Chains A and B, each alone.
Chain A
Amino acid sequence: MTPVSSETRKRRRPVIDAAIFFIVILLMVQMWLLTATLESYLAGHHEAAAPGMIVSLVLFAAVLGFYRFIVRVEARDRK
């Protein structure tokens, strides 16, 4: 097998950067969600806990999806 040229890698690098950027954005939303849910729980609004967890789960799944995407792109580079 021949290694992927550095030119191809350079072209794919922005794709990985973009995926990491989206992960960071999702993480910031998740961080805000955690503080908002905690604040609302401490204020006695316990009904916000379940939706908060479901949305957090969705965000985590999206982050995991982007991570798998990065690994896949990278694996393609290595072939």
Chain B
Amino acid sequence: MINKPDIHDLLTEARRVLMNSLTPELKGEHKYEALMIANAMGMAIRELGQGEQAKVEEADRAVSAFLEARSEPHHHAECEAFLAEAIRERRLDGGDEALRNLLRTLTEARLGINSPGYLKR
């Protein structure tokens, strides 16, 4: 079914109205609430967008490949849970540069959606 404009477009426009027209008129607690709504909408927009989603999928694939290369049990849909368990049970070396890079890739993919500004500091 084609349903235009798409949801990414709708949310982007709704957020623009919220930020440009409504928020400047608000004060105190209401302004704070409007900014929280804009923040949540921004995350939704990025999560729906293809660029950030591709990074998330790439990070998941990297986790699978990493576990595969170390003969760690895993299946793709829950690879992050397998990774967490292997770390907790100390089957992976915490000092391993490849592990650290992998953890960074995962974290950066999340930050790309949740708070991209944090990566640019």
Q: Do A and B bind each other?
A: no
Binding site for A on B (CB under 8 A): none
